[in-house]
Amino acid sequence: MDKLLQTLQRITHEIIIELDQMEYEQLASFVEDRQLIIDELQSMNQRYNDQQKLVIQGILQHDEAIVRRMQQLRDEAKIGIDKIERARVHNNAYEQPYAQESYFFDKKK
């Protein structure tokens, strides 16, 4: 259990150091790794001693910063998607609709 907590503490510390420059993929990978460790800790179904509780509290104190960065990345993605959608609407206004199955008939006089 101590080894899992140390691993969780180490990866959380590594993330916090580079959190401002972190991309979505890196943060998603961290969240997946973290969840695997948490699931394993929960499956052990043991009580935590005082030292382990302190380690867990130290890890949890960084959650707010991690969530804030995730929200920031989400907002950046939303702005990008909105920008693409506005460009698509703008371009559609200039495209001429035409019927692909139109026919031309020549008339002889």
Domain ranges within the chain, ordered by starting residue: 2-91
Q: How confident is the model at residue 83 (pLDDT cuts 50, 70, 90)?
A: very high
Following CA atoms 91, 95, 100, 103 in sequence, which dihedral angle do they give, to the nearest 10 degrees?
180
Q: pTM of the full predicted structure? A: 0.69
H helices present in 18-97, as ranges: 24-44, 50-60, 63-94
φ and ψ at 45, to 5 degrees?
A: 55, 45
Contacts of 86 (CB under 8 A, 6+ apart): none
Q: Give the pLDDT band (50/70/90) at residue 75.
A: very high
Q: What is the pLDDT of residue 50?
A: 86
- Determine the Cα–Cα distance for residues 101 and 42; give it in Å rounded to an integer: 63
What band does 107 get if pLDDT is binned at 50, 70 and 90? confident
Q: What is the pLDDT of residue 77?
A: 92
Q: Which residues contact 55 (CB under 8 A, 6 or more apart)?
A: 5, 6, 9
Looking at residue 81, its pLDDT comes to 94
- Select from 5, 11, 3 the least CA-distant residue to 62: 11
Q: What percent of the chain has pLDDT over 70?
A: 89
pLDDT at residue 45, rounded to an integer:
77
Instruction: Look up tokens 């200039």; give the residue.
Output: 94
pLDDT value at 37 more than 80: yes
pLDDT at 24 over 80: yes
Can you give the pLDDT at residue 62? 92
